[in-house]
Amino acid sequence: MVYPADYHMHTPLCHHASGEPAAYAAQAVKLGLKEIGFSDHSPMRADDFDNWRMRFDQLGGYVESVLQTRRAFPQLNIRLGLEVDYLPGHELWIQELASLYPWDYLIGSVHYVSGDWEVDNPARREEWTRRKPEEIWADYFKRLTQAAATRLFDIIGHADLPKKFGCQPPAQCQAMFEPFLQTASASQVTVELNTAGLRKDCREIYPSREILRSACVLGVPISFGSDAHAPEEVGMNFADAVGWARSAGYTHSSQFEQRRRCSVPLPA
């Protein structure tokens, strides 16, 4: 199987990934991928916002390292992306980031819900015992819907990230993700199939098949990402992800160049 483009990979600039971009590209070539994209965690306006992203003065170096890898691997399409945190009130900052470099795509990700807590931070996992899961999920999908509505992003990352530690959304969650998917459909923003979930306690691709089926019915486009934080994670479980997409009804996936989307058939 020729894998679809892997649009979600990190670099050591975020302090929790290993391997230089060239090592990720080499792994992609080894697996027969035709297209990849780097999407490291974006800087915030305040460099001390948290400890898992590059500083703003490192952004130019990040871009240069991706473009340099592009030149070193002419057999591979290498796209320039960024995984941008969506928080309400950050819209102007995100617009500024978008204007600075010739991005091929921006992934909008919600990690922070209601204040300064990232739902997926292992160091702050105990916060899950202090809040009601249904409130966490509701806050999460509310922010995700806002993120899609801004049209600041080409792709929405790991759409049901709060399941990471194994807490699946409560039964009433259809009511939570439906508005998100309707907004994604109206904005024609792509939803990412992220295989990192298979490497976490939830042991499941983000998003769930239930979400993906609804997304397909609503005509929401999809793309693929390994969320690689190490070279050996590039393209990981992509055959499963393609099967996951097909079983939800999808026949095509999105590719991006200079923030323009095109639709390509899924591999057979």
Which residues would be at the binding site for Fe ion (CB under 5 A)? 83, 109, 227
- 86/244 with CB nearer Fe ion: 86
- 6/35 with CB nearer Fe ion: 6
Binder of residue 214, out of Fe ion, Zn ion, none (CB less than 5 to 8 A by kind): none
Binder of residue 42, out of Zn ion, Fe ion, none (CB less than 5 to 8 A by kind): none
Q: Which residue is nearest to Fe ion (CB)?
A: 109
| Beta carbons of 13 and 224 less than 8 angstroms apart | no
Task: In angstroms, give the least distance from the CB of 3 to Zn ion.
Answer: 19
- 16/151 with CB nearer Zn ion: 16
Per CB under 5 A, does 227 bind Zn ion?
yes
Label residues 94-105 b or e (16+ Cβ within 10 Å = b): beebbeebebbb
User: 3-state DSSP call for residue 27?
Assistant: helix
Task: In angstroms, give the least distance from the CB of 81 to Fe ion.
Answer: 10
Task: In angstroms, give the least distance from the CB of 196 to Zn ion.
Answer: 7
# residues contacting Zn ion (CB under 5 A): 1
- 9/215 with CB nearer Fe ion: 9
Instruction: Give Cα separations from 35 to 26, 177, 250, 256 (angstroms).
Output: 12, 30, 20, 10
Instruction: Give Cα separations from 214 to 4, 55, 140, 146, 202 (angstroms).
Output: 22, 38, 18, 19, 21
Q: Which of 57, 38, 62 lies closest to 47 in space, CA to CA?
A: 57
The alpha carbon torsion through 169, 171, 173, 174 (nearest 10 deg) reads 130
What phi and psi, each to the nearest 5 degrees, are found at residue 118?
Answer: -90, 125
- 50/210 with CB nearer Zn ion: 50
Per CB under 5 A, does 139 bind Zn ion?
no
Q: Please report, as ranges, the residues that interact with Zn ion according to CB under 5 A.
A: 227
